[in-house]
Chain A
Amino acid sequence: MAANPATKREIKSTTCYMCACRCGINVTVEDGEVRFIQGNPEHPINKGVLCAKGASGIMKQYSPARLSKPLRRKRGVPRGSSEFEEISWEEAFSTISERLQQIRETDPKKFALYTGRDQMQALTGLFAKQFGTPNYAAHGGFCSVNMAAGLIYTIGGSFWEFGGPDLERSRLFVMLGTAEDHHSNPMKIAVAKFKRNGGKFIAVNPVRSGYAAIADEWIPIKPGTDGALLLAIIHEIVALGLYDRDFLLQYTNSPDLVIVNPDSDEYGLFLRSDLEVEQTCIEPANKMWWDRNLNKAVYSHSDAADPRLMGEFELEDGCKVKPAFQLLRERVTQYTPEWAAGVTGIDADTIRRLAHEMGITARDEKIELPIPWTDAWGKEHESVTGNPVSFHAMRGLAAHSNGFQSIRALGILMTILGTIDRPGGFRHKAPFPRPIPPCAKPPSSPEAVQPGAPLEGMPLGFPASPEDLFVDDQGEAVRLDKGFSWEYPLSVHGLMHNAITNAWRGDPYPIDTLMLFMSNMAWNSSMNTGRVRDMLVDKNDDGEYKIPFLIVCDAFHSETIAFADIVLPDTSYLERYDAMSMLDRPISEFEGPVDSVRVPVVPPRGDSRPFQDVLVELATRLKLPRFMNLDGTRKFKDYKDLVINYETEPGSGIGFLAGWRGKGGEKFMRGEPNPNQWEMYAKNNCVYQHELPRSFQYMRNWNRGYLHWAQDHGLIRYTDPVNLHLYSEVLQRFRLAAEGKRKGRQPPDYLRERVRTHFDPLPFYSEPLETQTIDKDKYPLNAITQRPMAMYHSWDSQNAWLRQIHAHNYLFVSPRVGVQNGFADGDWIWVESAHGQVRCMCRFSEAVEPGTVWTWNAIGKASGAWGLDGKANESQKGFLLNHLINEEIPSKRQDYRYSNSDPITGQAAWYDVRVRVYRADDNEPRQSSPQFDTQPRVPGMEPARGKWQAFVKGLTK
């Protein structure tokens, strides 16, 4: 392989980070330069394959957009002008730690830390908690939190890192909306295998892009109407009896009796028996069924009971009750296929056929695996059975303000088909399943934030009732982004997309320092990009910036760098240690827990330093308790040291990595720190995989063996079964509070109606919030974005090879839209929303639902950013749709605006925007609009590359 025998060649294993998929890679390094990056055949995630990004990692490593020096905004130069001077790391650390020390001693919440990646939260979350600030989140709030929350609150797990479709055994696979960028290589491997095995693949998507290209059937749907489709399918399946009754009885709350006396304060709550139960974060097992034979209420899950799923019954005291399934049945009565046809644009016969194909495949192609197992109630089963219908969905469903309820509907459809943690259906990945909702809770009062002390509670968690909200006595938000307030009660990933707007406005309060890591909030990661850029440079009357201090850490010259007061140069992924931690979002497989690491294969460029080391250093300088020994000395040398020596509690045996724990590496999941853990990972392809016994691999919500194993190994505290929430009593608690029927915390009056409407214990369809306020005749089109496969979940389209695939983007429109609006294929057009307008080029496409226009997201860049020439296509022809999307929407309260988000979870509603399109005038510039001043290069970047690049093994000629 090495042509010159003198060449020093090494192949080192590590983990890719060209996107969030985290494939194993083998990196060939020749004479200290990266020669080749290939997929690691031994790695469970990608099994040797790689994607376009992974194979272009070499262009990231040697990118001229790399930052290499800590920088400070030049004195006297306005923020945003991107004029910097080099400083030493010591100066950077002392400047930052002095400032943060001051904040921490006075009011820790004036420091906010938001990160673009949510796979580093084990450390970033620890830092925020120890600092004492609640103002911390990663990008989940503007990515796919609806998918995480919607399914976790229904089935105790979700897609991607949490679980996924078992395409090995599935016969019918339905992918809803854009979902390709989550778990992309594993999903490609699995979909191809599924197709070769003869399964049917249906893609429901306004656009035939992504994996929909190879679907056996494409169902074009209007954006934001997935909930209507899913509810109509549920309607048909329930009406025809195509549901898995046995599964619903034993493993879901379908037969549990719900109190339906309208006057009762317990209206909509489950009927509880007199059984004594412990009050824990687990749902108590004291619910009741209506027994068919005795014709009376009996304890749920009692041995001889034969519960009813339908009907209305009266208790001896006159209390009226119905099984939860009956309530679902009543709910979906209105959602006929004919009704849904009018909403979704899919004809009623097709909707009916989809329901029949799902129901009949689930029922008639049952899988039986010869695996004995024991359920949580002690019943022994001879085999594991499954119904081979599976689904996958992510942001397409999630990024709407009605997304949470749509996704609840998806979870319920998967449940009534009997497909949860069973072969051929959906399967969990450790540490899921977790209780519904999981036990971790956010802080519940402003008292949790105290000067000079860590935050009481976790910065993020899963509220189960109003008592878990993070609000003050008036019911107002404590967090800067208003997460876990009555506005967005279940915002389990925070609302990063509103942090800057809120800080700028000083609502709920102004902050002092905002620290951003790897998140491009001055460009594609913000809605309303132009205005957010203005906010970052806006000043108070006293001349002070409204957001006084901004620290940006990134490896690249992003648009956000220009607004920094301090720039901290991060390393590339090939230059650092990293942990895909069990404390965060590991890379587990269906068969058991998996985690992995990155190890450096080449030294850092210039003076760049891993962000993790920077955080450990800052935490130590700030003397944050968990980073210090009891004698006040430094506990962790750096991140590498922390990863192997940190324990969640002293002596807990649970740390960042699950593999090779214990002094000699003889333990896993739980065990004392192992000084040689890094070496053991490095020797084993940088990945640890534990395969559960087969009898623990299915039905884990109710699998006694698995639940005991999971408790023994520190995954869960309780071994109670996790029954599926067809009916959500959690949501009903919030609704009762909003109706004033529940003791305890009440929403502020102006939010009562909003909470009452959206916290419906059963899924319902409503138009997206913005759509409800828009003149749909004026703005007749839905506008959405997707990411192209060569850039899924990546953050650097300056990559010299990948940008040759997508250097600029077009607005894709149906030719009918062009004809109606008087423009032709390739014309420059204006796209206008109620909020803003952009000028761009259009392309006609027959692969898009005619009421929808769409584009590739984040191809457009600001002029001069990312090491690109000021006249590069990305800025001159490329565009961002973000300018059309407001980060806020009006409320009924005067002068008050909500986040443009799901009112349950705070999920950014990117895909709710509506637009009109028209031809740009002939005398307008042939250039995308809006434009921004060209962003200059900064000190420490290499000079602009020339016209030619002949790349050979780390050298360019």
Chain B
Amino acid sequence: MTQLALVIDLNTCVGCHACVTSCKEWNTSGTAGPMVDRNPYAAEPTGTFFNRVQSFEVGSFPNTQTVHFPKSCLHCEDPPCVPVCPTGASYKRPEDGVVLVDYDKCIGCEYCSWACPYGAREIDEQQKVMKKCTLCVDRIYDQSLPEQERKPVCVLSCPTSARIYGDIHDPESEASKAINDAGGYQLMPEWGTEPANHYLPRRKVKITVHQEDLQRADNPLRKEDRGPRAPSTRTTLDDSTSW
């Protein structure tokens, strides 16, 4: 069984928000749109985004980490948002594991967003329906697009390739390999939701300097020592003894 998902590499995400606005740009005019904005040019602007980057600090100065954490619907394998939906609008597709909302059935009751432990759902305050990441289902199967573009648009736009897309049930997929290789993890596994999206942790590189490395025979300073010495300015035995 296929389970499509995103694997997000926190080791390279710089928090640039390319995924955030490219998602909005594609989807507002796509099948999941529009993505409505309230007060777009006035005080306290706010709107629908399927994907947001949360930035936070960990630790205290000077041992501080600045973490950029992109978050969208995690397409849980056991999504708590589905059973609570009174109209069946919220559903998980058996063929690829994508969790979707049928706007025609949604009554905007927001039960699903109460049930989602990740806060990944957004009510469209104008249309009064629940909206969320679709993994760009209107791109990933579109045969009119070149094959390399049949991916969620956030994946295509990401400048640091921090978003890997694929079937996490296929052990040979790039996504599965990334999870295996780099210690990919799920958010709040204790909730038993089995989120399909995974995160790759920060990894640090260190350089070890050995003291011996600082003292080498080919040290260029030695070049400056050698060479002819200036004659002594004082009398030597060589000047005065004649035998």
Residue contact B14 to A807, C-beta cutoff 8 Å: no
Does A357 sit within 8 A of B, measured CB to CB? Answer: yes
Q: How far in angstroms is the closest Cβ of chain B from A320?
A: 15
Residue contact A952 to B28, C-beta cutoff 8 Å: yes
Residue contact B220 to A241, C-beta cutoff 8 Å: yes
Does B47 sit within 8 A of A, measured CB to CB? Answer: yes
Q: A184 contacts which chain B residues (CB < 8 A)?
A: 16, 159
Which residue in chain B gives the minimum CB-CB distance to A243?
B220
Does A502 sit within 8 A of B, measured CB to CB? Answer: no
Q: B209 contacts which chain A residues (CB < 8 A)?
A: 353, 356-357, 360
Does A380 sit within 8 A of B, measured CB to CB? Answer: no
- For B11, B44, B226, the residue with the greatest tally of chain A CB atoms inside 10 Å of its CB is B44
Does B198 sit within 8 A of A, measured CB to CB? Answer: no
**Chain A 288-322 residues near chain B, CB threshold 8 A:** 292-293, 295, 308-311
Q: How far in angstroms is the closest Cβ of chain B from A387?
A: 13
**Complex CA–CA separation, A478 to B59 (angstroms):** 54
Does B130 sit within 8 A of A, measured CB to CB? Answer: no
Contact of A49 among B126, B158, B227, B228 (CB under 8 A): B158
Does B184 sit within 8 A of A, measured CB to CB? Answer: no
**Complex CA–CA separation, A191 to B11 (angstroms):** 11
Residue contact B159 to A188, C-beta cutoff 8 Å: yes
**Per-residue interface assignment for chain A, residues 361 to 386, with 1 indicating a CB less than 8 Å from any chain B CB and 0 otherwise:** 10010000000000000000000000
**Complex CA–CA separation, A180 to B159 (angstroms):** 13
Does A950 sit within 8 A of B, measured CB to CB? Answer: yes
Q: How far in angstroms is the closest Cβ of chain A from B243?
A: 32
**Per-residue interface assignment for chain A, residues 27 to 53, with 1 indicating a CB less than 8 Å from any chain B CB and 0 otherwise:** 000000001111101000010111111
Residue contact A200 to B207, C-beta cutoff 8 Å: yes
Q: A212 contacts which chain B residues (CB < 8 A)?
A: 66
Q: Using C-beta atoms within 8 Å of the partner chain, give the interface range for chain A.
A: 35 or more
**Complex CA–CA separation, A26 to B205 (angstroms):** 37
- For A64, A869, A876, the residue with the greatest tally of chain B CB atoms inside 10 Å of its CB is A869
Residue contact A948 to B38, C-beta cutoff 8 Å: yes
Does A195 sit within 8 A of B, measured CB to CB? Answer: yes
Q: How far in angstroms is the closest Cβ of chain B from A144?
A: 20
Residue contact B42 to A872, C-beta cutoff 8 Å: yes
Q: How far in angstroms is the closest Cβ of chain B from A229?
A: 15
Residue contact A951 to B28, C-beta cutoff 8 Å: yes
- For A191, A220, A801, A802, the residue with the greatest tally of chain B CB atoms inside 10 Å of its CB is A801
Using known A-B contacts A308-B224, A790-B16, determine if residue A199 contacts B160 with beta carbons closer than 8 Å. no
Using known A-B contacts A39-B156, A49-B159, A214-B12, determine if residue A952 contacts B33 with beta carbons closer than 8 Å. yes
- For A364, A846, A876, the residue with the greatest tally of chain B CB atoms inside 10 Å of its CB is A846
Residue contact B213 to A798, C-beta cutoff 8 Å: no
Does B153 sit within 8 A of A, measured CB to CB? Answer: yes
Residue contact B16 to A192, C-beta cutoff 8 Å: no
Contact of A210 among B14, B40, B43, B62 (CB under 8 A): B14
Does A848 sit within 8 A of B, measured CB to CB? Answer: yes
Does B26 sit within 8 A of A, measured CB to CB? Answer: yes
Q: How far in angstroms is the closest Cβ of chain A from B89?
A: 20
**Complex CA–CA separation, A185 to B17 (angstroms):** 12
Q: Can you list 13 residue pairs at the A/B interface with Cβ under 8 Å?
A: A46-B159, A48-B156, A49-B156, A49-B159, A188-B16, A192-B161, A195-B205, A243-B220, A360-B207, A360-B209, A800-B37, A944-B41, A951-B37
Q: A53-B21, A950-B37 are in contact. List 12 more A-B contacts (CB 8 A).
A: A49-B157, A188-B16, A241-B220, A241-B222, A309-B223, A309-B224, A311-B224, A801-B25, A805-B20, A807-B44, A948-B38, A953-B29
Chain B interface residues toward A at CB < 8 A: 11-18, 20-22, 24-26, 28-29, 31, 33-47, 49, 57, 59-62, 64-68, 126-127, 142, 144-145, 148-149, 153, 156-162, 202, 204-207, 209, 213-214, 219-224, 226-228
Counting from the closest, the 6 A-B pairs by CB-CB distance are A192-B160, A245-B220, A52-B17, A241-B221, A188-B159, A55-B22
